[in-house]
Amino acid sequence: MELIPAIDLIDGRCVRLTQGDYDIKKVYEQNPVDMAKMYADCGVRRLHVVDLDGAKAKEPCNLRVLEQLAASTGLDIEWGGGIKSTDALRAALNAGANRVICGSVAVDNRELFADWLQNYGAEHVILGADVRGRNVATHGWLKESQVSIDEIIGWFLPFGLKQLICTDISKDGMLQGPNFQLYVELKDNFPAVDTTLSGGISSMDDIRKAHELGLHSVIIGKAIYEGRITLKDLELWLQNE
């Protein structure tokens, strides 16, 4: 099972939101490039980076940080936030992202997202579906749609969808454990899609449970910043893996 540390960016700095609320944010002192280097030193292979400024502005805002991350580490970087156009998708890939996470556009412009899957490759284009209950929220979690997580996956399976990051907003930043049932159901219902658990990881016990349930990858955010999961914990897990 792959452990994917998360870096969320506002004004080029590491932050964490609570339940996706921009008004409830905590800014951390760590430099994002320094954090990424520490993760790489632990044996982490993939990094999850969200441009929260970009999510609100509807276009990437922190590509300079992405360039620095790509130049300073050999990490497989998945990047999201503000990817609403082909130019934005191309800019993120050119700046050093190996994979680009696309959320709102998949709801608002199904044809465009399907085109990206086919023309840029499903290995580079990730469906980002952030849910409240079972419905997808968009535009930096500020808007509710009437589209369910199951429905949106079904839209794009015919176009080769292979990767999904599903964030349970009710659990995100709460450090109370994930909604494991949701992810097990998605894994079982859509076996062709590699579903990443995002939201709620609070301890190594949560990671062990995810592994026991057969989940393939988990994103870890606030638990690292708050010291619930240490860099040494990550290193030992990855060594044993």
Choose, from 53, 130, 168, 194, the residue flagged as catalytic.
130
pLDDT the model gives residue 16? 79
pLDDT the model gives residue 138? 76
Which residues of the chain form beta strands (DSSP E)? 2-10, 13-18, 21-27, 46-51, 76-80, 99-102, 125-132, 135-138, 143-148, 163-168, 194-198, 217-220
Find, among 161, 104, 144, 92, the residue nearest to 128 by Cα.
104
pLDDT the model gives residue 121? 98
Find, among 48, 68, 55, the residue nearest to 7 by Cα.
48
For each of the domains in the chain, give its residue range(s) and CATH number, in order of start. 2-240 (3.20.20.70)
Cβ-Cβ contacts under 8 Å for 21 (sequence gap 6 or more):
none
pTM of the model: 0.93
pLDDT the model gives residue 139? 64
Is 130 annotated as catalytic?
yes
Find, among 141, 87, 96, 139, the residue nearest to 116 by Cα.
87
- The stretches in the chain having pLDDT less than 70 are 20, 139-143
Choose, from 8, 194, 206, 233, the residue flagged as catalytic.
8
Find, among 139, 85, 145, 94, the residue nearest to 112 by Cα.
85
| Backbone Cα Rg of the chain | 16
pLDDT the model gives residue 143? 67
The alpha carbon of 236 is separated from its chain's Cα centroid by a whole number of angstroms, namely 23
Is 51 annotated as catalytic?
no
pLDDT the model gives residue 142? 59
Other CB atoms within 10 Å distance of the CB of residue 31: 14
